[in-house]
A and B are shown apart, each in its own frame.
Chain A
C-alpha cells in the first residue's frame, strides 16, 4: 500500500508529487498521457505537428498518436484546450507566473474590495499564501523576463496609458511590467544567434528566443532535461520528483506510471466517514486494469477530468458543486497591424503584461502562422463585414468585432506575421454555477462516460461582461499608443485554456467541494491539488503559479495531517529545480 497516489502529473500533480517525495513518502504518480522522455526525437518545432488538438504530440489523448484523441462534449461554439502527458498543460504554456490579485482572498480590505468576485473568495488571506508563492518562485525558478522586439513595441504602447511600471511581486494597482516568467534567463550565446552550432548547452544556457514555447521547450540543444529553459513541470517538478532521493536528505523518488488513465477512486466508510482508499486505472496501450491502495489520494487531473472522475466514481456531491463554477478568464484577442517589424513570432511566447486589478489583465502573445490564423478565425460574432450573430460590438478597435476570414485574413497575414502584435485579454470572470462539467449523454469511451463542458457565454454576469469590455478597450488603446495602423477585436467564444475552480475550495459548505486545507468535504483523505481547487478566477492572472503555491500548501497539509510531519515552507530553504544534484541525477538516470 502506498502513502499517496497522485492522479495527474501536470501543473499541480507534479508539485504534490515532488513535495511529498521530498518528505520521504512513498508516492505513486499516474499520468493518463505519455512521458516524452526524448523530445529531440519525439517533438518538432512545427505547430501542426505539436499543437493540432486531434493529432499533435500535445493533445488530450493517448501517447500512441495513431489513436484518436479523447473526446469531451462541448455543446457550444467553444474550444477546450488541455493536454495529457507528463507536464500536463504546462507543456505548451508560456511560463507566465504572476501572483493572483490580493482582492480575491478573504480579509482583503483595500478600497477596491467590492470590485472582485466577492461571493467566491479564497477561504484564507493573500498573506497566508505568500510563503507558498515564494517557495514555488524559488523552486521553478521565476524571474523577471528579458525583452525582445515585440516587448519593446508592447511597452511603447503601455507607456501611453498613464499607468506606472509594477516593480513588486504583488499587484497593487493598474500597472504594466515584464512578465514574471518560469523561464531561465538567456546566458552565453543564447538570444544572440540563429546558428545551431552556437545554441548547444553549455555554450548557450537558458532561453534561446526560438519562439516555440507553445510547441514545447527543448532548448538549448542537448541540455539536460531539468535545464531546458521553460520550467514546465516536465522540465522542473517532475525531474525533481523522480530524483528526490538525490537532493533531499530523506527523499524518496516517486514511481511514475505514464499511459495510465485513472477510472475510479475507491472509498470505504471508516469510523463513519467516507474515506478514499485507492485508485483503479487503465493502461491506455494494453487496456489492462490495475488497482493500488493508498493512505491519501490526490486528484490533479485538471478542471475537466477531475469532475468526470468524481462522478464516474460515484463520490458524494450533496451540494451539487462538483464541476460547477468553471472560470476560464473569458478570453478575447485584440490584434494590431503595424507597418514596421514587431518580431511577433520570435522570443519567449509572452514576456509583457499589464494588470488592472478588479478588471483583469492583458498580455502580449507571439504565434506562428497557423495559430495566428486560428486566433483570427475564432469568434462569437461571425465574420467581420458579413454577419455578426446580432452582436454589433464596437469600441476603440476598427469596425465590429468578428473573425478576419478569406481575403481579410489573407491581407492581415500578408502584411507580415512579424508586423502585427497580439494582445490577449484575460478577464476577471465570476464563478458562475451555470458554467460547469457534467457527464455527457454521448457514448462513453474506453475510460468511461465522458465529460461535457458547458459555458453560457452570452449569459455571463454583468460584472464579467463589463470587465471584458473594459479590458478590450484598454488593449486597443495600448496598440494604438504603440502605433498600430489597424486594430481588430475578435470577440472569442470560450477558449477554455486558463481553467479554474470546478472543484473549488471555499468558506461555505453550501458552494464548495473542498475546505481550506484542500481536502474534500465529503471524502476524507482525498485532496485536490491543481487548478480545479482554486476558489475563483484569481482576478485574471494566469493561474499556474497560484495553483502550484496552493498545491504546495495542500501537500504540506497532507504531510502534517496524515503522516505526522511538521510544517516546512517558510522554514526550510527550497532546493531549486536546476540544482546540480538534480542535474546529475537526471543525467545518470537517463531522464
Chain B
C-alpha cells in the first residue's frame, strides 16, 4: 500500500469509522466548529496532537455540541421511523404524513434523556467498545470521491483523538452518542452513499429510506451480522461474547423504546407540576382520553352470566 496520507491502512480505517459514524459529517456540518478550531488542528505541519492534553480538551469542548447534534439528529430519524409525521425526517425516509408523529412528540429528546441520564454505561466498556468500533472496519471500503475523505489529515487525526479522549474520560459517556454511532455505522453498511456531505440532515441514518432503516435493524438483529461478530472479537476477556448480546438487546430496545416514547406523554409532561402541558401526540392520534386523565369510567356492565362467585372446587 502506498504510504500517502489517504491510503495508510490504519488511518484509512479510522477515517472510515469517523465518516461512517457521522462524526466527520457532524464536524463539517457544524461549520462554526471548523472556524473555531485552533490553528494547530488544521495545520498539517504540526506534530501529533497527543502531546497536548489541554489542546485536546479544547477540541473536545468544540466537538461536544457537534456530537450532541449528531446524536439528536440520528435519534430524530429513529423517532420518525417509529411514528411518521409531518416533519423533515419523515420526508427524508419517504413517509410524509399529514398528522404529527414521533418527531413532534419529541421522541428524540425522550430517547436522549433515557439513554444519557439514566443508563449507567460503564466507562470500562466504552473504551474497548470505541476501539472495537474503529478497528472492526479495517477491511471496508468507501467511495474515493467521498468528500469527507478530502478533509485535512491532521483535522481527522485531531477529531479522532478528541473523540477517543471523550470516550476515555472518567465521566459516563453519553450513550446517545454511542447509539448514534452504531446506527450510523449500520446505515452506511446498508447504503455507503449516506455519508455524503450533509444537507439539512447530518446523519447517515436519517438519510435512509424507511425500507433501508428496516434493513439496518435487520443487520443488527441478524445472527450473521459481521459488525456484531467483529466487535466481539476485538474485546478482551471477560467482555468478549458479551457485547454482541448487548447490541442485540440495544437494537431491539431502541425500536420498542422509540415507539413507547413517541406515543406516550413525555413530550408534554411537566415534571415539576406532574401535569400535562397539552394533549400528547399519541392520545390525539388514537383518540385516548380526549379530556385528560380520569379517576374512573362509566364502564361497569355487570357480571358475565350474572355470576359473582365460582364454586370452590
Contacts and interface: CB of A to CB of B under 8 A. Distances in A.
Interface in A403-434: 403, 405-407, 409-410, 413-414, 416-418
B301 A373 contact: no
A416 B119 contact: no
B279 to A, nearest CB: 11
Interface residues of B, number: 80
B301 A151 contact: yes
Given A71-B119, A73-B242, A180-B310, A147 B222 contact: no
Given A178-B304, A382-B218, A373 B259 contact: yes
Interface string B40-56: 00000000000000000
Contacts of A209: 296-300
B264 interface: yes
B214 interface: yes
Given A46-B269, A409-B82, A410-B97, A347 B263 contact: no
A374 interface: yes
A200 to B, nearest CB: 9
Interface stretch (A87-95, A160-168, A280-288, A565-573): A160-168
Interface residues of A, number: 92
A146 B302 contact: yes
Interface in B248-285: 248-249, 251-253, 255-266, 269, 274, 276, 280, 282-283, 285
Nearest to A458: B223
A48 B264 contact: yes
A417 B119 contact: no
Contact of B125 (A44, A165, A443): A443
A478 interface: no
A300 interface: no
Contacts of B97: 407, 410
B5 to A, nearest CB: 38
A135 to B, nearest CB: 12
Nearest to B274: A44
B3 to A, nearest CB: 40
B145 interface: no
A344 B303 CA distance: 17
B264 A186 contact: no
Nearest to B212: A386
A370 B307 contact: no
Nearest to B283: A369
Contact of B251 (A75, A77, A170, A204): A77
B260 A373 contact: yes
A185 B294 CA distance: 19
A143 B307 CA distance: 10
Contacts of B118: 54-55, 68-69
Interface of B: 81-84, 95, 97, 99, 101, 110, 113-114, 117-120, 122, 124-125, 210-211, 214-215, 217-218, 221-222, 238-239, 242, 244-246, 248-249, 251-253, 255-266, 269, 274, 276, 280, 282-283, 285-289, 293-305, 307-313
15 contacts: A45-B293, A45-B295, A46-B274, A46-B293, A48-B110, A76-B245, A78-B252, A146-B303, A148-B299, A219-B296, A373-B264, A387-B214, A407-B210, A443-B124, A443-B125
Q: Which 6 A-B pairs have the closest CB atoms?
A: A75-B245, A191-B300, A370-B264, A208-B296, A377-B259, A77-B252
